[in-house]
A and B are shown apart, each in its own frame.
Chain A
Amino acid sequence: MSKIKSAEIKIGLEVHCQLTNLKTKLFCSCSSDYRGEEPNTHICPICMGMPGTLPVLNEKALEDAIMVAIALNSEISDRMLFFRKNYFYPDMPKNFQISQYDKAGGVPLALGGYIHINDKRIQIRRIQLEEDPGKLSYDGTIESSTHTLVDYNRAGIALIETVTEPDMETPKEARQFLEKLRSILEHLGISDGSLEGSMRCDANISLKGGKRVEIKNISSFKEVERGLNFEITRQRSLIERGITIGQETRHWDEVRRITISLRTKEEEQDYRYFPEPDLIPFIILKDQIKEIERKMPELPDERRRRFIEQYNLPHQNAEILTRSKAMADFFEECTKLYEKPKEISNWLIGEFLSYLHDKGIEIDELRLTPRHLVDMLRFIDEGTISRKMARSLLQEMLLTGKMPDAIIKEKRLEKILDREYVRNIVEKILKENPQAVKDAITDEKAINYLMGKLMKATEGKIDPKIAGEIIRERLSELAKFAIS
């Protein structure tokens, strides 16, 4: 029985990202803001592929696409062509997709390039522009529904497709690649990854040099890692039973969390690529690329380096913060209000991030603002609350969105600083725990035990420093007493 090392796994991705910042679709002037709208309301004769209609390219889409190619270190073609990808499907108004191709005389937007993750380079094969199809839904499941419901609002939306080389070796790397790509696109301001369906991908995986299996229908980045992990397990068990893995296309079922074989004639698909006669070639000049490069916003890697330098952050903190534009923005907003960036970053990459992961939400879905966090940090500095209390405070803020001062007042979280008050409670505890008191004279652990009791009795509201001082004071008094 052979054990497969991770070095023998090859994963490649085909990522489709909508250019969500465009106001219109790729080839027509319909509004691209279709989310939440009624079906079939953002359609016109052109994106519906009605007879006699013709496509005209959105100028800004090309500019955005060039920015992506620059950010991904890709080689931009100087003469770009659009090609037709011919296949029938109910979500395709023309039963061909206007896309790009890198064979048969095709010239896509850009070839080559890379993204760094964990000091590793994931190479890009090509980047291209294409149109999104419509959306299918069913009454019931895809298998049981007697008909299919089609909404063409999404048909014609501009997509950037990024195809990688099979350089990823683990599902985790695949997820990291996608996060990095998303961060780059968000930093460029051309795509908002938090919008539903704005980023989709297909994954290719092969084990131990075996045939490539394609997994389609992965709707989110989280699902990518899950899907790939499942597929590795599935393939390994087959290999152990001596079964060879053949080349095939599988469909990721999000609900059952398995990949299903698409053993349909889709595999005999022949896309018959040829140049789109209704669109002319697009010449991209070096000067134009330089101009776009000059005006490009700061990218994640750049930002990470700046965070380290400007805010003196540890590498790890800077790296985690810049994985998401929203997180990095939040951090910088905080630094405008509070002068301890490292402190801010610790809280963000710690408690904050855990909360987001646990709840599976995005940072902009929080009711928390930079003001909330900063006020909380000030209360800690002033000694109003302990660090431990702050953790509960944070949780409460995340849940309710109330400001720190309101919660502190409401839940009476102020650290108890009154020495007289503390002394009375300490007295009570020492009386209740005579054995511990005896032990405490010699054993440090017993003091901790008493501290614990004290903390419990005061619901952690006591300033530990003061509590410690008073207990030791009292104990040494008692000790003197015992001796004398």
Chain B
Amino acid sequence: MIILVERKKGISKKEIEHVAWLARIEISKNELELFSKQLNDILAYFAKIDKVDTENIPPSYHVLDLVNVFRKDDVKPSLPEEIFQIAPQTKEKFVKAPRMA
């Protein structure tokens, strides 16, 4: 006897936590609860795309027929000072990031 188990369309709380880590967004316990309900509602709605037969249909990553747009290898002035002074934390001429370990 073969038992077919239909994969549940949705995202578990554990998956939400993993995905939130991949996306570097810290979420609180309350947010996890709220998101769990909302995201699963949305995914249940998205599931309707399963009904479409897309066998042998290529994806449309780009809607334009444009190809081969280039730039010449010529130096143009940089904008270092203006960009550097926007950084929230700096040390001497470096952008200061938090510790790695």
Contact = CB atoms under 8 A, between A and B. Distances in A.
Contacts, number: 124
Contacts of B101: 142-143, 145
B94 A39 contact: yes
B94 A58 contact: no
Interface stretch (B35-43, B44-52, B74-82): B74-82
B72 interface: yes
B91 interface: yes
A149 interface: yes
B22 interface: yes
A149 B87 CA distance: 12
Nearest to B79: A44
Nearest to A268: B18
Contact of B70 (A23, A30, A58, A136): A58
Interface stretch (B3-11, B26-34, B57-65): B57-65
B83 interface: yes
A275 B61 contact: yes
A142 B83 CA distance: 26
B78 A30 contact: yes
Nearest to A284: B68
Nearest to B90: A40
Contacts of A59: 70-73
A147 interface: yes
Contacts of B98: 147-148
A61 B99 contact: no
A45 B81 CA distance: 11
A29 B62 CA distance: 25
Nearest to A56: B71
Interface in A15-34: 22-24, 29-31
B70 A31 contact: no
Given A24-B75, A56-B71, A57-B71, A90 B93 contact: no
B38 to A, nearest CB: 22
Contact of B67 (A23, A270, A280): A280
Contacts of A38: 93
B57 to A, nearest CB: 12
B13 interface: no
Contacts of B2: none
Contacts of A304: none
A138 B78 CA distance: 26
B91 A149 contact: yes
Contacts of A283: 67-68
Interface string A263-280: 001001010100101011
B78 A31 contact: yes
Contacts of B1: none
A137 interface: yes
Nearest to A105: B59
Contacts of A282: 67-68
B99 A146 contact: yes
Contacts of B61: 81, 105, 275, 277
A60 interface: yes
Nearest to B89: A147
Interface in A272-311: 272, 275, 277, 279-283
B73 A58 contact: yes
Interface string A156-177: 0000000000000000000000
A145 B99 contact: yes
A88 interface: yes
Contacts of A43: 78-80, 83-84
Contacts of A429: none
A58 B84 CA distance: 25
Contacts of B78: 30-31, 41-44
B84 A148 contact: no
Contact of B62 (A90, A270, A280): A280
A31 B22 CA distance: 33
B20 interface: no
Given A23-B75, A145-B99, A281-B62, A40 B93 contact: yes
Interface string A39-69: 1111111001010000011111110000000
A58 B69 CA distance: 9
A151 interface: yes
A88 B59 CA distance: 27
A40 B95 contact: yes
A331 interface: no
Given A45-B79, A280-B64, A23 B74 contact: yes
A136 B100 contact: yes
16 contacts: A24-B76, A29-B71, A29-B75, A40-B80, A40-B83, A43-B78, A43-B84, A50-B83, A58-B73, A59-B71, A60-B73, A145-B99, A149-B96, A277-B61, A282-B67, A283-B67
Smallest CB-CB A-B distances: 8 pairs: A29-B76, A149-B94, A59-B70, A60-B73, A90-B97, A148-B97, A56-B71, A275-B61
Interface of A: 22-24, 29-31, 38-45, 48, 50, 56-62, 81, 88, 90, 105, 136-138, 142-143, 145-152, 265, 268, 270, 272, 275, 277, 279-283
Interface of B: 18, 21-22, 24, 59, 61-62, 64, 66-76, 78-80, 83-84, 91-101
